Amino acid sequence: MKKQLLTLAMLLISMATFAQDRPKLVVGIAVDQMRWDYLYRYYEEYGNGGFRRLMNEGFNCENCQINYIPSVTAIGHSSVFTGSVPSIHGIAGNSFLIDGKSAYCTRDESEQTVGSDTKAGHMSPRNLLVTTIGDELKTATNWQSKVIGVSFKDRAAILPAGHSADAAYWFDKNALCFISSTYYMKQLPEWAVKYNKTIKKLPIDDIQYSPYGNEITVGMAKAAVENEKLGQRGQTDMLTLSFSCTDIVGHKYGTHHEKTHDQYVNLDRQLADFFSFLDQKVGKGQYLVFLTADHGGSDGILQNQEHKIPADGFFVDKEEASLNETLSKVFNTEEKLARNIMNNQVVLNREAIARVGIDEGKVRQAIINHFNRHPQVQYCVDMENVLNSSVPSLIREKIINGYNRERSGDIQIVMKPAHYGVWGKIDGGTTHSAWNPYDCHIPFVLMGWGVEHGSSQVECHITDIAPTICALIHVQAPNGCIGNPVIQVTK
């Protein structure tokens, strides 16, 4: 009897310790291409349960900056959840070099699609070289925690969830359903199959360019919480949730279009619904949620020009041809010495350089000389000699952090503000990737378990998000983390 009472007492102590040390559920939300100022641009149209609730109940880190370039989706999602940068975590772009060949960030032909007959599930997180918050949470709980990633985009579901995730689900644009990969499972769980049957079989553009894309993403996340009992099992679980349609709409229509406005007003309602759902399923104050973005977005070139703001397009295909024409004249060869321009970086054609017998250093300098004369280029930097370049320290640090020696290009091109790469023609849409505030100033708001209401204008970085969450839930920071906890939150 005494032994039974002692066991019960130890169990109660263990439960009390769990309640004090960690929330029941951690929810990490990324809104793709969400500029920081979108928190305020549509504030008057937001209700009280979504973005306003985050700001009014939670802690708002108002000056969160991305500390690397290029500021793109795969890198952003990786950096948020690892606390690291491309130089270390290895995700050097949405596509980058592996063994000298261009590769998509999560493409893995050793894995098969689960949930459809397409190739959209030939994916895994294996190209990510470090751990995530979820990986460290699972390690800290002896792999008793569940970690699940959900997004419209494959990379935005896979990379945040990490290597040891129980599942990642993303939307197959051809099959019009959420799928996964054999990296995680042999077949979709019955609840996912059932949920997919509720999705309207609309033309893909009617899904991804409307609020419906985000709506079905929320629905998939809710189904995962309910059916996998996330935050309801006596152990801390984690859900990563990324909204992709904000980015898809932004690229096509720009930062001030009515469709962008509709995306955020509707996303606010969807977040309010999701938070209310979590209040009921997990318990208000029993879960920790944070919301951020993978990157921002530039105001469109045509919009800027209309309002007399200097802006123009850098036509990538034409610039590649012009560069190789210059190199051919300088070195008197018909060989194509620059392979391409990728992620605003020139990739050398080392095989061609070797065939011609030219010193690679001279080719690098010729490329720099070419772009230093370009009217839209502010700086052109040899990635292996950044410290000796005449570039402001802020930009220099971002170049170094974004450079992975094995996976990045060789020469970094830095455009003038409001100038960016385009393909085809300049239209009303936008893009991102630059060092500037419009691309690198992102929201970071926390709410719920362990978070006191407040705000701060003290600068922090995208790499500080993961260590802040890890400090709050008392687990080790990811193994490539270079950031620090935001002490205004963790004090």
Known catalytic residues are: 73
Answer for the pair 251, 429: CB distance below 8 angstroms, yes or no. yes
Token duo for residue 435: 């060092």
Smallest Cα–Cα separation from 448: which of 287, 247, 236? 287
Answer for the pair 299, 256: CB distance below 8 angstroms, yes or no. yes
**Helical segments of 46-183, H only:** 51-57, 73-82, 86-89, 133-140, 154-161
Type of residue numbered 318: K
The residue to which tokens 């039974």 are assigned = 4
**Dihedral (Cα; 459, 461, 465, 470), 10-degree rounding:** -90
> How far, in Å, CA of 479 to CA of 466, rounded?
11
Helix (H) or strand (E) holding 207: helix 204-208
CB atoms within 10 A of CB 40: 12
Answer for the pair 263, 271: CB distance below 8 angstroms, yes or no. no
Q: How far is CA 28 from CA 125, 131, 383, 425, 447, in A?
A: 18, 15, 33, 36, 11
**Helical segments of 49-131, H only:** 51-57, 73-82, 86-89
> How far, in Å, CA of 97 to CA of 389, rounded?
24
Contacts of 395 (CB under 8 A, 6+ apart): 69, 379, 414, 435
The residue to which tokens 């006191």 are assigned = 452
Q: Helix, strand, or coil here: 251?
A: helix
End-to-end CA distance of the chain: 43
Smallest Cα–Cα separation from 42: which of 261, 260, 297? 261
> How far, in Å, CA of 259 to CA of 198, rounded?
25
> How far, in Å, CA of 186 to CA of 221, rounded?
20
Smallest Cα–Cα separation from 172: which of 157, 189, 161, 162? 157
Q: Helix, strand, or coil here: 221?
A: helix
Token duo for residue 360: 């690679």
